[in-house]
């Protein structure tokens, strides 16, 4: 998992490295009298976006270089990437086929960033004081494809601002929608676990910490939580606490699986059952993997693993590897 861990970390914003690479790109731009310098500038700008996709300056610098190189295909690719991260439909760019992106690409980029800021704090300033905008955002999250790890991280940061603004229930609801699409987002599992723990919802906290540690075992949040719970005192007495029973763990994973599974697949499954056709759980996992619904397959496999099924434990590891390779 070492290489996949590195890839995963690269998708989380690293501001200092992003700034360093953008600064390097800007230096090459100043001496861009030769195409070789523009090429070096482009490579540095791409690294800046890779390390910190939340900084709009990195996107602006990369787009500027693409325009200078008259790279219409490259400009479109940059806009498509940004649209994906913002949860916008990249197909919208097909409406711009007749537009010269070397002249209008920067305007399109700027418009997208102004309407939908990458900085979660800027986004929060525009949204949090407006109930209608919060409602629109909530409905939008329910309809978005947030499997892209960067989009998942971005929207996770936004809903954290909702939580910090006092809307804890909406945070819980939306975080589960986001996590259903990208269960490897251990940061949000951890944040959700901390909220449940603070609210005294101890089993729910354990479920979340368990998910976080499953995907990021070097951060033992579940183990630390268990130690905290075992050490809790109430009037001098230790509060008895046990890990949630297997049935409750499986029920939680079933809920997450249902959220991660398209409605048409569930309907087809119910139709087959009504006709007397029984599809075992392993076949369902294979079907979900074949449909590239790795999140649904992951939660279904974890149900088996929670019950001690050796094949299920193996499947969890395989699917985690596949999800890492998606990045």
Q: What is the pLDDT of residue 9?
A: 42
**Confidence class for position 292, pLDDT limits 50, 70, 90:** confident
Q: Where are the domains of the chain?
A: 13-117, 119-182, 186-244, 256-325
Q: What is the pLDDT of residue 271?
A: 58
pLDDT of 224 strictly over 80 = yes
Q: What is the pLDDT of residue 323?
A: 85
pLDDT of 3 strictly over 70 = no
Round to whole Å and give the CA distance between 311 and 176. Answer: 26
Mean pLDDT check: name the lowest of 70-79, 115-124, 145-154, 271-280. 271-280
Higher-confidence position of 98 and 115? 115
Residues 167-212 have pLDDT tens digits of 999 999 999 999 999 999 999 999 999 999 999 999 999 999 999 9
Of these ranges, 8-12, 51-55, 144-148, 265-269, the one predicted with the greatest mean pLDDT is 51-55
Residues 301-312 have pLDDT tens digits of 999 999 999 999
Percent of the chain with pLDDT over 70: 83
């Amino acid at each position: 998992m070492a290489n996949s861990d590195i890839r995963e970390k690269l998708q989380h914003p690293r501001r200092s490295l992003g700034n360093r690479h953008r600064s390097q790109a800007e230096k090459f731009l100043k001496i861009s009298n030769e195409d070789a310098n523009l090429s070096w500038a482009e490579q540095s700008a791409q690294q800046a976006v890779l390390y910190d996709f939340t900084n709009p300056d990195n996107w602006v610098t990369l787009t500027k270089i693409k325009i200078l190189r008259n790279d219409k295909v490259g400009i479109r690719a940059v806009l498509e990437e940004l649209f994906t991260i913002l949860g916008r439909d990249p197909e919208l760019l097909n409406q711009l086929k007749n537009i010269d992106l070397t002249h209008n690409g920067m305007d399109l980029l700027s418009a997208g960033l102004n309407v939908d800021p990458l900085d979660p704090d800027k986004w929060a300033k525009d949204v949090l004081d407006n109930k209608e905008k919060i409602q629109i955002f909530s409905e939008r999250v329910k309809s978005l494809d947030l499997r892209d790890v960067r989009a998942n991280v971005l929207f996770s940061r936004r809903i954290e601002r909702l939580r910090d603004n006092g809307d804890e229930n909406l945070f819980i609801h939306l975080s589960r929608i986001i996590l259903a699409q990208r269960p490897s987002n251990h940061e949000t599992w951890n944040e959700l676990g901390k909220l449940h723990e603070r609210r005294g919802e101890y089993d729910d906290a354990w479920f979340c910490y368990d998910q976080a540690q499953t995907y990021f075992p070097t951060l033992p949040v579940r183990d630390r939580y268990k130690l905290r719970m075992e050490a809790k005192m109430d009037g001098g007495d230790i509060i008895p606490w046990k890990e949630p029973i297997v049935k409750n763990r499986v029920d939680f994973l079933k809920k997450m699986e249902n959220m991660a599974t398209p409605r048409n697949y569930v309907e087809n499954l119910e139709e087959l059952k009504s006709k007397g056709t029984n599809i075992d759980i392993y076949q369902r996992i294979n079907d979900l993997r074949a449909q590239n619904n790795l999140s649904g397959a992951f939660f279904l496999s974890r149900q088996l693993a929670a019950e001690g099924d050796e094949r299920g434990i193996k499947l969890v590891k395989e699917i985690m590897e596949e999800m890492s390779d998606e990045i």
